[in-house]
Amino acid sequence: MSIVRHEPSKIFSKVVEANGFVFTAGIVADDISQDIKGQTKQILAEIDRLLKIAGTDKTKVVSASIWVTDIRSRDAMNESWNAWTGGQNLPGRACVEAKLADPRMLVEIAVIAVK
């Protein structure tokens, strides 16, 4: 058993490797002035970067948790999601509504991958 933690802040690590699995934190957009489509695109680019750091990539994501602040914006979020997945190697996924740390954050995504 070994654990590798990457990019710890004061509160959490952005991505953690353990026992053949990779767990990201709940990722939000850097530029929260963008709409949900733009925020989702940013988040998924950040998840790509984190998965690479942990030695894996988006083709190996097995589960995704998505929180949106307005469930009616799910279709707009899915436009960026579908562009990212390309309809390939699709994980299990749950998407529900929840308020996030800042009211300008419209979406947050965490994934579990294998490596």
Binding site for a second copy (CB under 8 A): 1, 3, 5, 8-16, 18-21, 23-26, 60, 62-65, 67, 71, 74, 78, 81-82, 85, 87, 89-101, 108, 110, 112, 114-115
The residue type at 103: P
Hunting for tokens 């309809």 — which residue is that?
87
Q: Angle 74-85/36-53 helices, nearest 10 degrees?
A: 40
Q: How far is the CB of 31 from a second copy (least distance, A)?
A: 20
Beta strand ranges found along the chain (DSSP E):
3-8, 13-18, 21-24, 61-68, 92-97, 107-114
Q: How far is the CB of 8 from a second copy (least distance, A)?
A: 5
Q: Which is nearer to a second copy, 52 or 115 (CB)?
A: 115
Q: How far is the CB of 4 from a second copy (least distance, A)?
A: 10
Q: Which is nearer to a second copy, 9 or 33 (CB)?
A: 9
**Could you tell me if 52 and 92 are in contact, meaning their C-beta atoms sit under 8 angstroms apart?**
no
Q: How far is the CB of 19 from a second copy (least distance, A)?
A: 5
| Nearest residue to 112 via CA among 79, 45, 80, 64 | 64
